[in-house]
Structure 1
């Protein structure tokens, strides 16, 4: 057991562990958004359509905040951006708890989306800064595990707190965010090392990087496939006459698998070519969702959930590791911002495209999803070698820059 713990967590700096602890605390307490639509309809008198629009403003703010976070991460530094994000989130959550006018709540939701999403690029950039390349797979694997453990905890606590007090739900979320901000202020130093040559490059440079954009596009496809589990699968289960509690069982099983099994993933994939691991992960994802073409009982949905969850578990570490490798030192924040945009984009596109697919294609929709996974697997195998050559060149350049200091 000790050897396994050493292999899983060894070689990671104290700064990494403070960042990891802050992420876990923040995610366990991050339940306000989970119940925001219910809060608006039950406590603030909003109609269903109004609640949807107001919650949508959070996503709009998230897009803007992700881009702003990328720029600030490179200009201000990681620490300042993280502090601004967390303390801004605290202010927005407290204001939301005390607000009753729907227009004001919509404005505050937008600001909350901006503040919360700013942290993403800075958080990942800081991990890259303090973690040697050979340890990043473990670092990102543990980050993914903490994220899912925190979300599982938040989901359990949110239901209990909502029955007790929505005001308490927002304020406890704010308190957890404040604790994370104070931990960062106390223990996390600035990790940005200024490059020898100051660059004026910006998002234009990122958007001209074809190798990186191909990787981002493949990540978007992966996100579109996996997001089916949160958006279209519940509709398919309802059409099959299964209850909401049955879908809850599917979600709970996936979360339990990640919490129990993610820490063992590095032993399975360490030393293997990352593009091959991603190709396998996309094939497994496609197989899991493709299985739904014959699903009409809960047992088949549960089996499919096991398969697609394994795919997501395999994909998480190499996905994050490749993202870190392709980002030049001077533009790490901007590269992270563009990468992070894939997730809100998938949150919008998956229900729109998936809903149309399920309506017009019926069960054949899942064959399309499975074929998409197979196509993405093939594209990873094609794009992998040039991607690895680019990553090696960036590592060499970063090493030379460090030596010149």
Structure 2
């Protein structure tokens, strides 16, 4: 099916909508991760040091998970890989729920990490497969907005279910994974047989443009993760209520959803849109640096959320545009490593900057990095331009 025929008269294709719905439902169920450390410590009597090490191993396992997802997406097929990743997550979640000794939970956590990111490369690649390049920002924007909305509902469900035995959280997440796997298997089109790529997998790593894009995407992902980690700590430092974090996340999600519906920025090219996105993020970070009340943090969240919308959609558009059709899954998997790297870096940078410079120093430093990336977009434009004949 061509990209043109995939677009319906009312907008994005049925395939895109199914992927968005499946990912959103799965995101609603994915509220277990923040509670994994609690289960390890309370239910299985792990020490604080052991909990930190186990969670670090989980994070490390997500890196090969994404690479595996890219390889399987190009070789096994998009739909099969999505179903495999979701089923793997379900098995791991049920294993954690049934574990009564620490070593069993550790093995289950490693399996969860290895399955956790398999879904992303094939789903992102499939969106690119069925959309024209000019429509991809809208498709990826819808994808990210749906995840944001589902994340808010996930938090509410987690708060409700966590009053019972925490193991039920993992059972609920396993059920949503299996439900999404069934939806994908039944509703998405069958995998198209693709020609085996003539190049070896290592050729992906020799694409200098992809590696440059990975570097830029890692900076964005690190800024994003610093917000996720740093905002709750900043509120704590400012003596604001813990519930403020949930309110800020809700406002951020609403901003993404409304902006996706209202903003018409398809006429902007990727580099100009990315520059605008970084400037909006920087503005939100500067406001965060001077904020001492929840209302000011809410204003900041609107600004940085608008910026994230520009950045996430355009980076994915660029990554999918660099890739040849037969290697798109692997390209998106390599680009997606930016999130694994950022998840490792951000906790260190946030805690060290908070310790040495306080909240103002943290957010002003991060804003400076965003401004530098905005200024570098003309340089990126030249380096990422297609090679001449």
Both proteins in one fold, TM over 0.5: yes
1:366 matched to 2:363? The reply is yes
- Aligned residues of 1:8 and 1:263 also touching (Cα < 8 A): no
> How far off is 1:9 after superposition?
8.6
Q: Alignment partner of 2:386: what SS?
A: helix
1:154 matched to 2:148? The reply is no
Provide the C-alpha distance between the structure 1 equivalents of 2:82 and 2:32, rounded to a whole number of angstroms: 20
Provide the C-alpha distance between the structure 2 equivalents of 1:387 and 1:9, rounded to a whole number of angstroms: 33
1:375 corresponding residue in structure 2: 372
Provide the C-alpha distance between the structure 2 equivalents of 1:260 and 1:48, rounded to a whole number of angstroms: 41
Equivalences for residues 167-182 of structure 1 within 5 A = 167-182=167-182
Deviates more, 1:242-251 or 1:350-359: 242-251
1:107 matched to 2:107? The reply is yes
Provide the C-alpha distance between the structure 2 equivalents of 1:117 and 1:68, rounded to a whole number of angstroms: 9
**Mind listing any 5+ residue stretches in structure 2 that lack a counterpart?**
1-6
Deviations 1:6-50 (A, max 9, x none): x99934322222222211221111222232122223322223332
Deviations 1:324-382 (A, max 9, x none): 11111121111111111111211111120222122223333332211111110112222
Give the total of aligned pairs. 382
* RMSD over equivalenced CA pairs, Å: 2.2
- Aligned residues of 1:253 and 1:306 also touching (Cα < 8 A): yes
2:218 corresponding residue in structure 1: 220
Provide the C-alpha distance between the structure 2 equivalents of 1:88 and 1:246, rounded to a whole number of angstroms: 34
> How far off is 1:162 after superposition?
1.2
1:251 corresponding residue in structure 2: 249
1:343 matched to 2:344? The reply is no
- Aligned residues of 2:152 and 2:249 also touching (Cα < 8 A): no
Equivalences for residues 295-334 of structure 1 within 5 A = 295-334=291-330
Alpha carbons of 1:190 and 1:129: their partners in 2 closer, same or farther (altered >3 Å)?
A: farther
- Aligned residues of 1:78 and 1:126 also touching (Cα < 8 A): yes
Provide the C-alpha distance between the structure 2 equivalents of 1:151 and 1:277, rounded to a whole number of angstroms: 25
Deviations 1:74-104 (A, max 9, x none): 2212122112111122211111111111111
TM-score (norm 1): 0.88
TM-score (norm 2): 0.91
1:208 matched to 2:183? The reply is no
Deviations 1:152-203 (A, max 9, x none): 11111011111123232212211111111111211223444524x741321x
**Mind listing any 5+ residue stretches in structure 1 that lack a counterpart?**
1-6, 394-405
2:274 corresponding residue in structure 1: 278
Alpha carbons of 1:274 and 1:256: their partners in 2 closer, same or farther (altered >3 Å)?
A: same
Equivalences for residues 1-400 of structure 1 within 5 A = 10-192=10-192, 194-195=194-195, 198-202=197-201, 204-265=202-263, 267=264, 269-362=265-358, 363-389=360-386
- Aligned residues of 1:9 and 1:138 also touching (Cα < 8 A): no
Alpha carbons of 1:211 and 1:221: their partners in 2 closer, same or farther (altered >3 Å)?
A: same
